[in-house]
Amino acid sequence: MSDLEVVSLKIFGRDISLSCPAEEKPALLNAAELLNTELNGIENKSNALILAGLNLANKFLQNDSSSASSPEDANKLRIMLQDIEEVLEK
C-alpha cells in the first residue's frame, strides 16, 4: 500500500490541502496547474469552475474518441471535477 502525502495546492486563489499516494503527487500537481490555466483563461469568474470543468471534460472526451481510454476513465474525470468543485465551494 502506498504512503499518503499531503499536497498543498492553490486553485482559483484558494489554498487546498489534499492527501494522495506519493507516486500520484506529480500528476496531482499537473492537474492543478492545468485547472488553474483553464480558470485564468475565463473572463466570467462567477461561472469559471463550471466553464473550466466543461472545457477540460470536452478536451478529454475529444482525446478519448481518438484513443483507447475507457468509460471508466471518463467517469473518474467527472468524479475528480466534482470533488474539486465541492472543495472550492467550502
Summarised one tens digit per residue, pLDDT across range 22-73 is: 998 998 898 888 888 888 888 888 888 888 888 888 888 887 655 555 677 7
- What's the predicted TM-score (pTM) here? 0.62
Domain ranges of the chain: 24-89
Q: DSSP 3-state assignment of 41? A: coil
Summarised one tens digit per residue, pLDDT across range 72-81 is: 776 777 777 7
State the pLDDT at residue 75. Answer: 73
Strands (E), 12-86: 14-21
12 phi-psi bin (left φ>0, alpha ψ -120 to 50, beta other)? left
pLDDT band at 83; cut points 50, 70, 90: confident
Contact 22, 2 (CB under 8 A): yes
Residue 80 CB partners (closer than 8 Å, separation 6+): 31
